[in-house]
C-alpha cells in the first residue's frame, strides 16, 4: 500500500473552518463548548482529543499603510510588483490561517511510547490508535512534540486524527480534505505531496514570497530522528508563529543512554551499600 | 468533552507576536494524578529495600530481622504499586493490555514488565518468609510448599527488575517532549534510583527501630548506607539542577520551590544527613528516616508537577526544540 498523508498549504487557507466542521461531523466528535477566547477568531485554540483539525488565526499587523488609489484586485492577486505611492503589499498586514492536524510522523513518538501497542501504523502508513486496545495510560500525550494526541477524561482514552482510516479503506479522501474549498488541504500519496509541496514553494519564491517553506521535512519540523512527517505544511513564517516546534526530537532516542546511565548508577549505589554492610 | 478544561496558558506573560501563538502551550501535559507520584515513591521504597537486603544477604550478613523487614516492606510496596498504577489508567479494566506486548523503546512497557516480574517474585519470596515465620501454619502442604521456595535465588534474580523499577520513573519522564524532563535525560533515572535507595534504607531502618528489632551491627550498617545514598542523591540533584538550567524554572519558582528546596533538599537530605552524622540515638535515627521518606515523596511530587508546569510554558518548549541553552 502507498503511504498517504496531507499537504496543508497555508497560503491558500481562508480560515473558513470547514475542515474542523467536516472532521467533527464525519468522526462524530462532540462540540467543545461555546467559549469566546479573544484570540482573534480562534475559539478552538488547540488540537485535542475531540478536535482533530484546528484552524489557527494569526493577525500580522502591517508596518505601512496603503495610500492613494490602490488597485485592490492587483493587491489581492498577491503579486509583489510596485504599487502606487510606494506602498507594499505587506503594508496591509496579513491574516495567516493554518489548519493544524496530526503530523503522522514517519517515526512516531506516540507510537513508540505506547506500552500496549494500541498505537500502530496502518496499511496506509498512518499513525492510528486502536480504540479497543488503548487503556488510557496517557504516556503518548507528553511524548508528542507537537501537542497533538490528548487524553479525554470523560472517555479515559487518548484520541487524535485517524487520517479518516475508515474513509481511506473505502477509497475516499479524508473528510477535511474533501470539505476544503480552496484545496489548502490536499490528501494523497506522501511522495506525490512532497513533489507538489516543492513545486508550490518554488512558485511562491518566484513570485517574491521567499519566506515560503515546507514544514514536516527532516530539516524542519520532522527532525531529530522523527524522519519527517506524512502531514506536511507550507508555511510563511517561523514555525513558532503557528505554535509548531522548529526542530523537535524523537524522545525515545534518549531511552538507551538513560537506561545505560541508570545501570551505572545502580552499580555505584549497590557498591556503596555493599561497602556499608561489609563486615 | 474538552479535556483538561480549557488549556492552561503559559506562565510567560511577556510575549511578542511571532514568538508564540497566544501563549497557548504547544505541547500537552500528561493527565497523571496523585497516584503516579505516590507510585514512584512507593515503588522506589520497595525496590530500594529489596536491593539493600539482597546485597546484605549476598555479603553474608545474617541478620534475620533485616531480611524479614526487607521482604515484608517489598511485598507491601509491590501490592500497592500496581493498584496505584491501575487506578490512574483512563480504562483501569484494561490494565492487562500493558502485558500484551514488550517494547524496548517504551519505558512504560519496560517498567510494566519489570514491575510485574519484580512484584511476582517478591510475592513468592515473602510467602517463603511468611512460612518460615510460621504465619502459614505448621504442617499443612501450603506451608511446606512455601518453605521450599528458593527465596535467596529468587531475590538475586529479582535484582535487575528491582533496580529498574527504582530508576525507570526518571527514564519514563525523560523520554518525553517536556523540556524540564528531557533536558536532564541522563540524570533522571540515576536521581530516582538514588532516592529509591535512600527511601528504601530509611524504611528498613525505621521498621527495625520502631520494632526494636535487629542486631546493633545492622543498625550501624544501615546508618552508613543511608549517609552514602543521601550524599549520592544530593550530588545527583545538584547536577540535575545544573543540567536543567533555565528549564528547571518550575523547581525554583513558586509554588514548588519551597517544597523542593525546603522539603526535599533541606528536609529530606541535608537535615537527615546531619542527624545521621552526629551522635547515634534511636529518636534521631527515627526522625532521620521519617524525614528521608517524606523528602522522597516531595521529590516525586515536584518532579512530576514541575514537568507539567514546564509543558505549559510555550517559551520553554520552543527554546528547547531550537536547542538553546
User: SS3 string of chain B?
Assistant: CCCCCCCCCCCCCCCCECCECCCCCCCCCCCCCHHHHHHHHHHHHHHHHHHHHHHHHHCCCCCHHHHHHHHHHHHHHHHHHHHHHHHHCCCHHHHHHHHCCCCCCCHHHHHHHHHHHHHHHHHHHHHHHHHHCCCCCCCCHHHHHHHCCCHHHHHHHHHHHHHHHHHHHHHHHHCCCCHHHHHCHHHHHHHHHHHHHHHHHHHHHHHHHHHCCCCHHHHHHHHHHHHHHHHHHHHHHHHHHHHHHHHHHHHHCCCCHHHHHHHHHHHHHHHHHHHHHCCCCHHHHHHHHHHHHHHHHHHHHHHHHHHHHHHCCHHHHHHHHCCCC
Q: Which of A144, A245, A266 sits opposite B163 (nearest CB)?
A: A266
Q: How far is A96 from chain B (nearest CA, A)?
A: 11
For residues A99, A100, A106, A108, the Cα torsion angle rounded to the nearest 10 degrees is -160
| A8 CB within 8 Å of a chain B CB | no
pLDDT-based confidence at residue B13 (cuts at 50, 70, 90): very low
Residue B12: the pLDDT is 41
Residue B323: the pLDDT is 85
With CA atoms as reference, report the closest residue to A46 among A32, A34, A60.
A32
The 10s digit of each residue's pLDDT in B255-285 is 999 999 999 999 999 999 999 998 899 999 9
Task: State whether A48 and B3 contact (CB < 8 Å).
Answer: yes
Residue A82: the pLDDT is 62
Q: Which of B2, B171, B322 sits opposite A255 (nearest CB)?
A: B171
| Residue percentage of chain B with pLDDT more than 90 | 89
To which residue does cell 502606487 refer? A84
The 10s digit of each residue's pLDDT in B182-209 is 999 999 999 999 999 999 999 999 999 9
Residue B45: the pLDDT is 98
Residue A85: the pLDDT is 63
With CA atoms as reference, report the closest residue to B289 among B48, B54, B33.
B48
Kindly list the residues from chain B whose CB atom is less than 8 angstroms away from the CB atom of residue A240.
Answer: 18-21, 26, 318
Residue by residue, pLDDT tens for chain A (279 residues) are 799 999 999 999 999 999 999 999 999 999 988 889 999 999 999 999 999 999 999 987 765 556 666 666 766 665 555 666 666 555 566 788 999 999 999 999 999 999 999 999 999 999 999 999 999 999 999 999 999 999 999 999 999 999 999 999 999 999 999 999 999 999 999 999 999 999 999 999 998 889 999 999 999 999 999 999 999 999 999 999 999 999 999 999 999 999 999 999 999 999 999 999 986
Interface probe for A, chosen from B89, B90, B224, B227 (most Cβ of A below 10 Å), is B90
Residues belonging to the binding site of A are 13, 16, 19, 23, 102, 105, 110, 114, 134, 137, 140, 144, 161, 164, 176, 180
Mean pLDDT score across all residues of chain B: 93
Residue B108 has pLDDT above 70, yes or no: yes
Kindly list the residues from chain B whose CB atom is less than 8 angstroms away from the CB atom of residue A117.
Answer: 97, 100-101, 103
The 10s digit of each residue's pLDDT in B292-325 is 999 999 999 999 999 999 999 999 999 999 988 7
Task: State whether B177 and A264 contact (CB < 8 Å).
Answer: no
pLDDT-based confidence at residue B6 (cuts at 50, 70, 90): very low
The 10s digit of each residue's pLDDT in B247-262 is 999 999 989 999 999 9
Long-range contacts made by residues B139-148, C-beta under 8 angstroms, separation at least 24? none
The 10s digit of each residue's pLDDT in B225-237 is 999 999 999 999 9
Pick the CATH number of B34-321 from 3.10.129.10, 1.50.10.20, 1.20.1630.10, 3.40.50.1450: 1.20.1630.10
Q: Which of B17, B108, B224 sits opposite A137 (nearest CB)?
A: B108
Q: In this predicted complex, what is the ipTM? A: 0.94
Kindly list the residues from chain A whose CB atom is less than 8 angstroms away from the CB atom of residue B108.
Answer: 113-115, 137, 139
Task: State whether A135 and B217 contact (CB < 8 Å).
Answer: no
Residue A60: the pLDDT is 79
The 10s digit of each residue's pLDDT in B84-100 is 999 999 999 999 999 99
Task: State whether A245 and B18 contact (CB < 8 Å).
Answer: no
Q: How far is B260 from chain A (nearest CA, A)?
A: 22
Residue A1: the pLDDT is 78
Q: Which of B28, B112, B318 sits opposite A142 (nearest CB)?
A: B28
What is the number of residues in chain A? 279
pLDDT-based confidence at residue B139 (cuts at 50, 70, 90): confident
Task: Judge contact between A120 and A163, C-beta under 8 A.
Answer: no
Q: Which residue intervals of chain A are DSSP H helices?
A: 18-27, 72-76, 109-113, 140-143, 165-169, 175-179, 190-206, 255-277
The domain spans of chain B are: 34-321
Task: State whether A116 and B100 contact (CB < 8 Å).
Answer: yes
Amino acid at each position: 500500500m502507498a503511504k498517504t498523508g496531507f499537504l496543508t498549504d497555508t497560503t491558500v487557507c481562508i480560515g473558513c473552518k470547514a475542515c474542523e466542521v467536516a472532521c467533527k461531523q464525519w468522526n462524530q466528535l462532540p462540540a467543545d463548548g461555546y467559549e469566546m477566547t479573544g484570540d482573534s477568531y480562534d475559539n478552538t485554540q488547540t488540537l485535542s482529543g475531540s478536535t482533530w483539525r484546528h484552524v489557527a488565526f494569526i493577525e500580522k499587523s502591517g508596518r505601512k499603510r496603503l495610500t492613494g488609489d490602490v488597485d485592490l484586485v492587483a493587491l489581492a492577486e498577491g503579486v509583489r510588483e510596485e504599487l502606487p505611492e510606494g506602498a507594499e503589499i505587506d503594508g496591509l498586514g496579513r491574516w495567516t490561517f493554518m489548519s493544524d492536524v496530526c503530523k503522522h510522523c514517519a517515526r512516531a513518538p506516540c507510537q513508540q511510547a505506547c506500552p500496549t501497542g494500541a498505537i500502530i501504523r496502518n496499511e496506509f502508513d498512518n499513525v492510528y490508535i486502536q480504540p479497543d486496545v488503548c487503556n488510557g495510560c496517557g504516556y503518548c500525550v507528553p511524548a508528542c512534540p507537537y501537542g497533538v494526541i490528548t487524553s479525554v477524561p470523560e472517555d479515559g482514552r487518548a484520541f487524535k486524527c485517524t487520517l479518516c482510516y475508515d474513509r481511506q479503506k473505502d477509497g475516499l479522501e479524508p473528510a477535511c480534505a474533501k470539505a476544503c474549498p480552496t484545496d489548502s488541504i490536499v490528501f494523497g500519496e506522501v511522495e506525490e505531496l512532497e513533489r507538489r509541496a516543492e513545486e508550490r514553494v518554488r512558485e511562491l519564491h518566484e513570485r517574491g514570497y521567499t519566506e515560503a517553506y515546507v514544514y514536516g521535512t527532516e530539516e524542519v519540523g520532522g527532525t531529530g530522528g522523527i524522519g519527517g512527517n506524512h502531514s506536511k505544511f507550507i508555511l510563511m513564517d517561523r514555525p513558532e508563529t503557528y505554535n509548531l516546534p522548529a526542530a523537535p526530537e524523537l524522545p525515545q532516542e534518549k531511552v538507551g543512554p538513560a537506561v545505560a546511565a541508570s545501570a551505572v548508577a545502580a552499580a555505584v549505589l549497590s557498591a556503596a551499600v555493599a561497602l556499608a554492610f561489609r563486615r | 468533552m474538552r479535556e483538561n478544561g480549557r488549556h492552561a496558558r503559559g506562565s510567560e506573560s511577556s510575549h511578542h507576536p511571532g514568538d508564540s501563538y497566544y501563549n497557548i502551550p504547544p505541547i500537552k501535559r500528561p493527565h497523571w494524578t496523585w497516584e503516579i507520584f505516590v507510585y514512584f515513591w512507593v515503588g522506589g521504597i520497595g525496590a530500594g529495600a529489596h536491593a539493600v537486603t539482597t546485597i546484605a544477604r549476598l555479603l553474608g550478613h545474617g541478620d534475620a530481622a533485616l531480611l524479614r523487614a526487607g521482604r515484608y516492606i517489598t511485598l507491601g510496596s509491590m501490592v500497592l504499586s500496581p493498584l496505584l498504577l491501575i487506578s490512574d489508567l483512563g480504562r483501569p479494566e484494561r490494565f492487562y493490555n500493558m502485558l500484551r506486548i514488550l517494547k524496548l523503546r517504551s519505558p512504560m512497557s519496560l517498567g510494566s514488565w519489570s514491575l510485574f516480574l519484580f512484584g511476582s517474585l517478591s510475592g513468592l519470596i515473602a510467602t517463603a518468609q511468611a512460612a518460615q515465620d510460621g504465619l502459614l501454619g505448621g504442617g499443612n502442604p501450603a506451608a511446606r510448599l512455601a518453605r521450599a521456595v528458593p527465596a535467596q535465588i529468587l531475590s538475586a534474580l529479582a535484582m535487575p527488575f528491582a533496580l529498574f523499577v527504582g530508576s525507570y520513573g526518571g527514564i519514563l519522564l525523560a523520554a518525553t517532549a517536556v523540556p524540564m524532563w528531557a533536558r536532564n535525560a541522563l540524570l533522571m533515572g540515576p536521581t530516582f534510583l538514588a532516592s529509591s535507595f535512600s527511601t528504601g534504607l530509611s524504611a528498613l531502618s525505621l521498621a527495625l527501630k520502631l520494632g526494636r528489632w535487629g542486631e546493633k551491627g545492622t543498625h550501624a550498617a544501615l546508618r552508613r548506607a543511608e549517609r552514602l545514598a543521601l550524599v549520592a542523591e544530593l550530588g545527583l540533584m545538584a547536577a540535575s539542577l545544573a543540567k536543567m538550567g533555565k528549564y528547571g524554572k518550575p523547581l525554583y519558582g513558586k509554588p514548588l520551590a519551597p517544597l523542593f528546596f525546603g522539603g526535599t533538599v533541606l528536609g529530606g537530605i541535608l537535615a537527615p544527613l546531619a542527624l545521621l552524622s552526629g551522635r547515634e540515638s534511636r529518636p534521631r535515627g527515627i526522625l532521620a528516616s521519617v524525614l528521608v521518606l517524606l523528602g522522597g515523596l516531595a521529590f516525586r511530587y515536584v518532579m512530576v508537577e514541575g514537568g507539567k508546569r514546564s509543558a505549559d510554558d510555550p517559551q520553554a518548549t520552543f527554546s528547547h526544540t531550537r536547542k538553546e541553552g
